[in-house]
Structure formats: structure tokens, C-alpha cells
Structure 1
Amino acid sequence: MKVVKKLFNYAALYKKLIIGALIMLALSVAADLTGPFVAKKIIDSHILGIESSWYEAGKGKDAVKYDGNWYKRADYFAKGEKKGREVHVLQVGNQFVFVDEAVPIDGRRTLENQSLIIKKDGKEQRAQAVKLTSHEVMGFYQPEIPRIIKLVAFYFSLVILSSIFQYGQSFYLQKAANRIIQKMRNDIFRHISRLPIRYFDNMPAGKVVARVTNDTEAIRELYVTVLANFFSSTINIFGVLIALFILDPRVGTIGLLLIPIIVIWTMVYRKFASKYNHIIRERVSDINGMINESISGMSIIQAFGREKETKQSFENLNREHFSYQNKMLHLNSLTGGNLIGVIKVLALMAFVWYFGGISLTAGSAISLGMMYAIVDLISRLLHPLHGIVNQFANLEQALVAGERTFSLLDEKGLAVSDENISRYKGNVQFENVSFGYKDKEYVLRDISFSAKQGETVALVGHTGSGKSSIMNLLFRFYDSSEGQIKIDGRNILDIPHQTLREHMGIVLQDPYLFTGTIASNISLNHKGITREMVEKALRDVGGDKVLKHLPLGLDEPVIEKGGTLSSGQRQLISFARALAFNPAILILDEATASIDTETEAIIQEGMEVLKKGRTTFIIAHRLSTIKNADQILVLEKGRIAEQGTHEELMELKGKYYQMYELQAGPHKGMAG
């Protein structure tokens, strides 16, 4: 039960709120369970209490005048107060009678003219009886009315108190649940940023999003609804069982039979529900992943007319999700309220049959108040059971969601370090480096080269030759399988990831822009980068010429991925970002591949500013842009095939020469 333990550990962070809420819940349940006892007291002691013994007494408190004499219930005599002769007020059918002598209260009563007949244990006793009018009966009830009013007021105050505690527990439990989920989501998001890039190679973004949003929301239901219901139901069940034992141990013993029923019920339900919920949560993730992918690639889907096929794929996923939701619905229906209803009716029938039979036998009668209290408590016993059963679905969903969430948190993340190092000089050395994204499937083999401070190194080669992989290793997005990479003589494996990248910058072929403004995309909200630094960086790369027509300038809003900006504008912002961070080592990953010639001319000027004083690596598609590089590495199938300056490589007339001539062709310098 690792998932349960972890969910408990999160709850323990806010234990004061949860314990406070559960105490309020316990008080609410206790106040609520007092109701049947109050009702029993009202019925037995006051409504039916007038059938107890009465004695002739003097005029005074609780005394009732009848036929010229004063009478008082035996219960209301003060200690030492003198009692007169005993009389009784008894109910026979719908009629109340006055008996001017002592008679047994228990037994079967019948009325013949003015004679009351009481049969008990095979014996018969007769006594003279006078029928009472409704006004006379109400006279005997006068001492009871204030007491009944007090008990009703007490019961009403208990209801109000229960409601207040119920509100308090709901508020504080939800507050605790929201805090837990807030922390859990923060932890997940923080952990996602620490996961190695390799993790995301096989995990679609939509599935990760589902774990941060949908799964945590299912867990929230565990703390808000399931915990409250399980706790209140458990207290209710034990409270009712105790109350039943107090009222009648036989009924309490029968009530204990519900506990094994709950256990068996839970085991059967979980066997099927766990399997169904796993599939349901997986399909929700798949649906999220597909929606995310479809929205990102909508232009391709529409351009190639794949709307029907995409719709069909989505419907297949949705249909499977619907199918298992239906299975869960059938399971919940079979094990839900309907079954509880059947048990409730059977329990009440058994009680009425058993105690109804007993009440018909002389000497074993059960009071009406007792019967009311027990029937009420049996109903209350089955209500919390219903509450528990109804939460099985939410419980299983939460446990499955928790399992998926914690599996993400259990993924090994990169260590976070606050260590700061001084700015690199920028000497980079690769020593016999080999690397593969999969074990023993190398995409780089025995790579060795050096880049000195301030040099520009260009990497060229056909697609899949390993250019981007070299840069991935330098940034430690991945670690090499063999060999060493050093910066200023220090092995990069000895430098924490965040620290290593502190003085490195990158410009991608397709730059990523975040929702915000142009200014925020350049500074990335770094505290050390001022507005003036942002403006200067954009001006130095020539971006002010291209972006000057935007109405709000640097404060122009940027939507997700910079969809409203041209490729050239996005690239200029990316260049300005790299310059603003002032890296010692700069990587330009085919940074001019998707830019028009006019913008490229502006960027070429900015690149000279950008490269000044930095060790720069350029992954080049257009060979005409790297003629001035200090050294060019020609990669083929993960190896360095040729190495040298543009002139040296052209003299060799090898692979670089062939590539350059092929691009230049009859329109030299304009190939793309």
C-alpha cells in the first residue's frame, strides 16, 4: 500500500487542519446520534409516562386536579414528600381511563362497560375504571408539556450544533484538500522540470498534463469527499452499534454482522474496480495526449486532409473509455444503493417480526419509545454503510490516480544545485566521446576535437549524422556513454546540470516563445536582466529594425509559441534572449535555416556581435553562413569525417567540397 502511505504523508503536512475538521465531524455525528435517545425519552418518559403510578397529593408543583382531588406522578415526588393512595391513568385502545386503585401496568388490557380487565401471566385482574374526556387527559399531560418543550428545544439545539460542526468540518477539510493538491501539483511541476530530457522522448506532453491536472483532481476528491464520508460513516457505525448495545444487546449483536459484510463487499468491489479504473485513467491520458497533438498539428491535419482519420482515432479512444465507464457504472449499480436498500428492508422486517412477536407476549413487552429508537438507529446504521459504498468508486479512482501521480514523482530527477561558478573562459574539449539514445546503438562514435576561447566551430553533415547530438551532450541533456567532455579542463559530469548551463546559451532552428510579451521572452523574467539590457540586446542583434512596427514594441503580447509573429521575428527574439543572458558558450542550432534572405542579412550582422568573445558552435544547414568559422567539423554516420577551415576543406575536395558545390550550384551563395 505504498500509494496509501504517500497519500497519508501528504495529508500529514496539513494534519492540524484535517484533525480539526475530523474532530468537528465527530462532534457533529455525536450530536446527531443523541437524537434517538432524546426521542425515546420524550415518548417513554413523557408521552407514555402518564401511564406510570400516580399518588394522591396536595396542591402544588406537578400536581393535577381531577374529580376534586390532587394527584402527582410517582417520579415527581420530592424526597420525603408524603404520598397518598395509588391511582392509574391507562390507555385501552384509543380511550384513556382513570383507575382509582393500584393495578399492574403490564399485560393485555380490555374494557367492559366500567370494568378494566388486565390479563398477565395467565392471571386476570378487574378494576373499576372511569373514561376520561380529552380535556381531562390533557390535564394529566400538563406537567409533561414543559419537559417535552425543553427536550424538543434541546434536540433542536443539537441539530443546530451538528449543522455548525458539519459546516466547519466541510470547510476545513476542503481547505486542507486544496492545500494538499496545491502542494502536490507544485511538487509534480517542479519535478517535471528536473526530469531528464530522455524521459520526455517516450512520454507525450498530453499524458504528463493529465497527471498534473486530472489525476490530482481525482486525488482531491479522496481528501474532500471520501475521507469525510469514510470517517463520518465509521464514527456513525460504531456510534450506532454502541447505542444499540445500550438499548438492547441482542440488537447490537445482530448489528455487528454488518462489519464482515462491508469487508467482503469491499474486497469484491476492489477486485473489479481497480482494473476498470486503471484503464479509464489511461484512456483519459491518451485522449489528452491526442487532443494536444492534434491541436499542435492541426495545420498538417487540415493541409493533408486527415480530418476523418484523426476523428476516427479519437472516436476509438473515446469509445473504449466509454465502454469501461459503463462497466464501472454497472459495478456501482450492482453494489450501490439498491443493495443497501434491500438490506435495510430485510433488517427492519427482521426487527419488527422478532420484537413485534415478543411485544405480544405478556411480561416481555418493548416500549414504543424503545422501538422507535431502535428502528431509527437501524436506519442510521445502514445510511453510513450506504455512504461508504457510494464512495468506493471515488476511492478507487483516487488510488489509481495516486499510483499514476506518484509513479511520475518516483522517476529519478536531476539533482538541483544552487552552486554558482565564475563565467567560463570557454575552452571546450571532446575526448573520444561515444553516445547512443538506446543502449549499444551509438549515434556518435569516438568524437574528439577542441574549441578554444572565442573560437567559432561549425558542425555540418547530412540529417542523422550526429550534429545535434553533440550539442545535447554539451548541454548535458544527455550524458555520453563513453569518453569525456571538458570545459576549461573540468569534466562536465562533475558540474551540476543547472550550474553547467548557467553560462551557456542556445538559439534553436525553431525558437520557442512563451505566452507573455516580447520583453519577457527575452529576459525570461530573470531578475538580473533589466529593461535596458533587453532593449540593448534586441538593438545589437538588429531586432529593433524588424520589430519596430509593432504597436506596443517590447510590450507586444506574445501568444503560445509566438504564433502571431513571423519566423524571422521569433528568431530575432531568440537571438536577443541569448545575448541578454551573456553566455560564455553559445550554440546556434541551424539558427538561420528558416529565415528569409533579408532577415538573414540582419541576423548575420547581429551574429558577429553575438559571437564576439564567446566560444560559438554553429550547426549549419547553409554552408555559405560558416565560411568564416575557425574550424568546421564534417560529420558522417556519427564520426568526424573531415576537419579544418573552409579553405582547407575546399582544397581537400572531399565531402565538404561536394556539399558546398551542391548547395552553391549555378546560384552560388543563395542555396538553401
Structure 2
Amino acid sequence: MSTGWRLTQYALNYKKIIIAALFMLSISVATDLAGPFIAKNIIDEHILGIESIWYQTTEGKNTAEYNEQFYKKEKNFSNGEEQGKEIRILQVGAKFVMVEDKLEFDGKRTFENGVITLQKGTEKVEYDAKELTTRELMAFYQLEIPGIMKLLIIYFCLLVISAIFQYGQRFLLQKSANRIIQKMREDVYGQIQRLPIQYFDNLPAGKVVARVTNDTEAIRELYVTVLAQFFTSAIYITGIYAALFILDVKLAAICLLLLPILYGWMLLYRKFASKYNHVIRSRISDINATINESIGGMSIIQAFRREKETEKEFEKLNTEHFTFQNKLLSLNALTSHNLVGVLRNLVFVAFIWYFGGQSLNPSSVISLGVLYAFVDYINRLFQPVQGIVNQLANLETALVAGERVFKLMDEQGENVSTERIERFQGNVEFDHVYFGYKEGEYVLKDIHFEAKQGQTVALVGHTGSGKSSIMNLLFRFYDCQKGKILIDGKDIVSIPRQTIRNHMGIVLQDPYLFTGTIASNVSLNEQSITREMVEKALKDVGADQVFKNLENGYDEPVIEKGSTLSSGQRQLISFARALAFNPAILILDEATSSIDTETEAIIQEAMDVLKKGRTTFIIAHRLSTIRNADLILVLDRGKIVERGTHEELMLVNGKYYQLYELQKGCAELTG
């Protein structure tokens, strides 16, 4: 499915608002385009209408007095009304003269010594004529003033209507655009929740943020500006062509050549602009990722004096972005306004050629009003054309941004399940499990063990031995390639991920805190967890001793990642969070490795409370913290090489014994 069609589908969610906007736009355009027709009538019927045929009549409505006689325009006579002597009023230069004869034809006019000469080609006729004074002329013109005022009032009313409906259509289009982008951002963010953890292993957070913010904002411009301009222009162009065909079919047909030229230009423009925009959007994403990474690692950057090097990396990306922005700018500058200018000049050449040819044809008479209307409509025609051309850059940017957003939304995810099951008993079994982050490269090989309800299982081994991978599989952050994992005898693959995690808790080595308060970070704003439960959880893990001196207590503000708190304080909050959710299975992933000795003592005292009634998995480098574990699994290169209690493993005098003695020796040396 194309990007354009998918963007259209989003728009169709709010089709009622968009249809209402287009209806208002149509009315606005129709009332606006009526202007030249009204101007044509004012010129032809009223300003130049004085040159119509006049007949002598009796005094009455629509009559003008001249030399004590009354005259009325031919069109103002009713059926059966008697017409007297015919007269004509002709303009010659700045003068107006009266001819009391019927004209054979009209043509080039000259007036001298009371005689007006009309010449058309080789033909020439002369008539006696009398020059009219200003007062005499105004007697005839006064009849036109009511008609002119009526048309001007109509024109003003149409302008007011056009302005009202123009405001309405802009408001509705922008409202629909904002709603479309609101829904799109919600869908994108919802898709992020559906994506597996593995997806984020390969995509920096800054790039994801760029798609949710920058790219969707670029798409917003599509709905707010680009489509509004395209809709407006399309209706304007349709209306103008309709008016041109009413005025003159041949010239309107010549103007139709603009449409294939404009379409061809759009195809050519997109060919180059698409390439530039892909690079620009990609570099924006890279810049966001770099900034995000730099801010997160600013302490390391400054500690190791890498400010200049980091700045150079950023400058490289920024320069590439600048280069392609300039290429796109050059493309727009060289073509957009120039193209419209060339097209306008071509149309005016065709216009002058056409009307010039018409004027040489004796049988053709072109009124000044028609001439004015054509010039006005042709000028108006290039306003929407200019608008379309100017929005091509934004259109291409939005399509590229849409392509990037939909690529994220097309990633295979899993719907967030709201299904709930009864609390686990906590019996866990790994049945000959094989797993690798990359296909064919197993980091866990033939893992097989059982953890009974209420037992504590410890996982030990060197870095990279597979300890954390086992926990990733249990939490279904990843799924194993071979074997199966059972909880209470049920294969976890048959249970939705969110349903499994509803009865599991985890404490990571580097706990993550959200912006809020200490209390909100414990409950994570879960409505089922009351304030009393939060305070009890904090007390049970010994946090009341650590946070008792804080000014706001458990309502102390926490900024992003809890950077104002110590490692120990953050870890205590993480322990309390796991306890407050009352999980059946608890995972402690090197949870005490970054805690000072005093805080570790507090946590060790709370460990018995945490483990009661729960199956607990502990990943620890400090072997002293797992001496009381019911089962210790020793991993080496993805395999379980030893298993048993602390005492049993010490008697084996194997890998666990070596690790324990090594740590014990190091502790004595540091002591």
C-alpha cells in the first residue's frame, strides 16, 4: 500500500469534517470568482452601456432628457412599447458625441467639424454629430448609477460571504489535520508499546523519538498546508476554467495546456526532491540520536575530555543535513517561481496573439468587459498554480516522513493484552531451552532446571555467560528458538506477554525512574496500588530509614532517571516497586551490585520479606548475597555447568568454589 493512500486513509477517519470544509471552500471560491463577471457587467452594461441604441420616447422610468426630448435604451423597452427616433452616443477619444442616424457599422472613430467618421477596413462612413456637454452626458449616465450600485453591493456581499466561508474551511481543515496527527501519534506511540524489546536493541532512542515528533509534524504540514493549498487550488482552477469556457472556448482550450505541463513538472520535481528529502529526514533522525546519546553520557564525555570529538561527530551530521537542505533549496529556487513566471508569460503571449487576431477579423467584436474578465481570470489562474508549485517541497517532505512513520508502524508487533489470569503459584521449568539473539548463534544451550513455588534460584557466572538472557526469556522479552519454558505447567508462549508479566516483578542492576515523585515511581500510577500499599512496600524494604530526612517525604520530586538520587536510593525505590505489585515470580538482576555496603545490609534484611510466597531468581556477582539460595546454577558460555546449594557446590570444589574463593580473597585484601 502506497504512502499516499495510507495518509488518505487517515484523512478518511475525519471525512465529515473534511467534506464540510471542502463544501465551504467551494462556496468561497464560487463567490470569489464571481467578481470578474460582475466587473464585466459593470463595464459592458453600464460604463460602456451608454453606447447602446437609444430610442426617443415619452417621459417615464429609465428615460434621459436631452433637448427637451426623452430617450430610453433599447433593452429597457417592454414588449409592444412604441419606439421613436433612433440615436447613438459614441466615445471619440475623451469626447462623447451624439449621432441621430442609424449606424451601418462601427469601427475606428474620428470627429472633426461636427462630423464623425467610422472606418472599418477599406469601408468608411460619415455622420453628422454633436458633441455632448458634461451636463448632457450625465443625464444619460445617471440612469446607470443604480445598476452599478446594485452590482457593487452584490459584489461586496459576495466578498463577505467568501471571507466567512474561507475562514470556516481553513478552521475545519486545520481542525481535521490536528485530529489526524493526534491519532497518528497515538497510533505510533501505541505501536512502540507493541514492538518487542529486540527492536530497540538496534534502533537508538533518538531515532524513534524523531519519528514520533519530527516526522509526524512534517506530516501535519501535509494536512494543514499542502492539502489545503491543493484543494483550494484545484477548486479555484476548476472554477476559473469554467468561467474561461463561458467567456471564450478557444482561449480556455489553449489554457488547458497548463495542466499537463504542471503535472509533468511535479513528476520531474519529485524525482530529485525525494532523494534529497530521504537524506534530510535520515540526518535529522541521526542528529536526534546523537544529541540523546550525548546528553545521556555527558558525565562520561566531560570526564574523559571528549567534548571536541563529540562536537566533531555532531558537526559532520549537521553539515550533511545542511548540504542536502541547500540542494533542496536550490532546486526550489531555480524552478518554482521561475516555472510559474514562464508559464504566465506563455499564456499572456497566447492571449495577446488570440485577441490580436480577433481584432483583425471584421466580424468579431470583443467588448472591453470580456477583455478585462479574461485578464483578471488569467491572473487569478496563476495564483493557485503558484500555490501548488510552492507546496511541492512540503508535499515531498511529508511523503518521505510518512514513509518513515509507516515503516515503524509496519514492524511486526503484538497487541497489548488486557487479559488477566489468576495469580501464579510460581513453579517455573526451563525444558532444554536454546536461545540466540542472532539466528544460529546460541547464547543459551540446553538450559534445563526447575524452580518450585517459594524457592530462591541464583544464577552465577562470568559476564556473558547467559544469566540475564535466562531472565529475558522468562519475562518474554525474547522467545527461545528451541525447547520451552513452563510456568505452573503451562507453556508461556501460549500466554500473552502482558498477562504473564502481570504476576512477575523485576529489579534491574540499573533501575529506571520516571519523572514524578518517589511514591509515583513505586506505584507507577497503578490505580489498584493505594498510598498505604506504597508506604508499606517502602517500609518493608527499609526505605523509610533512607528517605526519612527528605523535606517532602515520599512526595519528593524525582526528575528523569532519578539523577538527583543516589544509586542505593534508586535501587530501594525499584525494590519497593517490585514488592508493591506483589508478584508471584520475582527477578533480581544483579540488584545489589551498585549499592553501598550500608544500603546492601538494609536490603539483605528485607530479602526474606520479599521472597516469602514468591519464586525468586537472583542474578548476582556478589556470591555472598546468595549463600541461602535453594538452588544455585553456575553458567559458563551459555551452559549450566554446576547446580546445587552453596554447601553442595563448595564441596564439589569446581567453578563455583573458585569464584567464591576468589571473591573472598579479594574482599579480605580490600578489607
- TM-score band (shorter)? over 0.9
| Corresponding letter in the other structure for 2:432 | N
Match of 1:279 in 2: 279
Contact 2:518/2:573, CA 8 A, preserved across alignment = yes
| Corresponding letter in the other structure for 1:467 | K
Aligned pair 1:350/2:350, yes or no? yes
* Secondary structure in 1 matching 2:502: helix
Distance, in Å, in 2 between the alignment partners of 1:139 and 1:608 is 112
Distance, in Å, in 1 between the alignment partners of 2:19 and 2:290 is 42
Identity of aligned residues (%): 66
The TM-score, its normalising length taken from structure 1, stands at: 0.98
Match of 1:603 in 2: 603
Aligned pair 1:468/2:468, yes or no? yes
Match of 2:554 in 1: 554
Alignment of 1:110-189 (within 5 A): 110-120=110-120, 122-189=122-189
Distance, in Å, in 1 between the alignment partners of 2:41 and 2:65 is 25
Q: Aligned pair count?
A: 671
Aligned pair 1:68/2:57, yes or no? no
> Residues 75 and 240 (structure 1 numbering): CA distance in 2 closer, same or farther, change over 3 Å?
same
Distance, in Å, in 2 between the alignment partners of 1:544 and 1:667 is 29
Contact 2:193/2:416, CA 8 A, preserved across alignment = no
| Corresponding letter in the other structure for 2:618 | I
| Corresponding letter in the other structure for 2:161 | L
For each residue in 1:242-280, what CA deviation from the matched residue of structure 2 results, as whole angstroms up to 9, or x when unmatched? 211110111111011111101211111111111111111
For each residue in 1:566-620, what CA deviation from the matched residue of structure 2 results, as whole angstroms up to 9, or x when unmatched? 1111111111100100000000001110011111111111121111110000000
For each residue in 1:487-528, what CA deviation from the matched residue of structure 2 results, as whole angstroms up to 9, or x when unmatched? 011111111101011100000111000011111100001111
- Which structure 2 segments of 5+ residues have no match? none
Match of 2:77 in 1: 77
Q: Which moved more, 1:382-391 or 1:204-213?
A: 382-391
Match of 1:44 in 2: 44
Q: Which moved more, 1:133-142 or 1:588-597?
A: 133-142
Distance, in Å, in 2 between the alignment partners of 1:13 and 1:368 is 49
Alignment of 1:174-573 (within 5 A): 174-359=174-359, 361-573=361-573
How far is the alpha carbon of 1:159 from its aligned partner?
A: 1.1
How far is the alpha carbon of 1:61 from its aligned partner?
A: 1.4
Distance, in Å, in 1 between the alignment partners of 2:347 and 2:470 is 75
The TM-score, its normalising length taken from structure 2, stands at: 0.98
Distance, in Å, in 1 between the alignment partners of 2:123 and 2:193 is 90
Contact 2:632/2:643, CA 8 A, preserved across alignment = yes
Contact 2:432/2:483, CA 8 A, preserved across alignment = yes
Contact 1:24/1:168, CA 8 A, preserved across alignment = yes
How far is the alpha carbon of 1:121 from its aligned partner?
A: 5.1
Distance, in Å, in 2 between the alignment partners of 1:194 and 1:59 is 88
Distance, in Å, in 2 between the alignment partners of 1:564 and 1:58 is 101
- Which structure 1 segments of 5+ residues have no match? none
Contact 2:251/2:354, CA 8 A, preserved across alignment = no
* Secondary structure in 1 matching 2:173: helix
Distance, in Å, in 1 between the alignment partners of 2:669 and 2:13 is 64
* Secondary structure in 2 matching 1:505: strand
Distance, in Å, in 2 between the alignment partners of 1:32 and 1:429 is 76
Q: Which moved more, 1:96-105 or 1:186-195?
A: 96-105
Q: Which moved more, 1:463-472 or 1:261-270?
A: 261-270
Contact 1:447/1:639, CA 8 A, preserved across alignment = yes
How far is the alpha carbon of 1:669 from its aligned partner?
A: 11
Q: Which moved more, 1:234-243 or 1:552-561?
A: 234-243
Match of 1:23 in 2: 23
Match of 2:54 in 1: 54
Aligned pair 1:94/2:94, yes or no? yes
For each residue in 1:97-130, what CA deviation from the matched residue of structure 2 results, as whole angstroms up to 9, or x when unmatched? 1112222462111112100111235322211111
Match of 1:622 in 2: 622
Distance, in Å, in 2 between the alignment partners of 1:356 and 1:292 is 67
Distance, in Å, in 2 between the alignment partners of 1:418 and 1:339 is 57
| Corresponding letter in the other structure for 1:94 | A
| Corresponding letter in the other structure for 1:207 | K
Distance, in Å, in 2 between the alignment partners of 1:667 and 1:220 is 60
| Corresponding letter in the other structure for 1:440 | G
> Residues 105 and 218 (structure 1 numbering): CA distance in 2 closer, same or farther, change over 3 Å?
farther
* Secondary structure in 2 matching 1:336: helix
For each residue in 1:129-163, what CA deviation from the matched residue of structure 2 results, as whole angstroms up to 9, or x when unmatched? 11112222222110111110111111111111111
Distance, in Å, in 1 between the alignment partners of 2:134 and 2:397 is 61
Q: Which moved more, 1:329-338 or 1:304-313?
A: 329-338
| Corresponding letter in the other structure for 2:409 | L
How far is the alpha carbon of 1:666 from its aligned partner?
A: 6.1
Contact 2:255/2:347, CA 8 A, preserved across alignment = no
How far is the alpha carbon of 1:361 from its aligned partner?
A: 4.8
For each residue in 1:318-351, what CA deviation from the matched residue of structure 2 results, as whole angstroms up to 9, or x when unmatched? 1111111111111111221222122212322331
For each residue in 1:340-376, what CA deviation from the matched residue of structure 2 results, as whole angstroms up to 9, or x when unmatched? 1222123223312431353255332311111110011
* Secondary structure in 2 matching 1:143: helix
* Secondary structure in 2 matching 1:498: helix
Distance, in Å, in 1 between the alignment partners of 2:291 and 2:319 is 15
For each residue in 1:200-257, what CA deviation from the matched residue of structure 2 results, as whole angstroms up to 9, or x when unmatched? 1111100100100011111111111111111111111121112111101111110111
The CA RMSD measured in Å over matched residues stands at: 1.3
Match of 2:638 in 1: 638
> Residues 669 and 598 (structure 1 numbering): CA distance in 2 closer, same or farther, change over 3 Å?
farther
* Secondary structure in 1 matching 2:411: coil
> Residues 455 and 668 (structure 1 numbering): CA distance in 2 closer, same or farther, change over 3 Å?
farther
Match of 1:33 in 2: 33
Contact 1:106/1:363, CA 8 A, preserved across alignment = no
Distance, in Å, in 2 between the alignment partners of 1:525 and 1:507 is 18
Distance, in Å, in 2 between the alignment partners of 1:152 and 1:628 is 97
For each residue in 1:285-306, what CA deviation from the matched residue of structure 2 results, as whole angstroms up to 9, or x when unmatched? 0011111111101111111111
Match of 1:109 in 2: 109
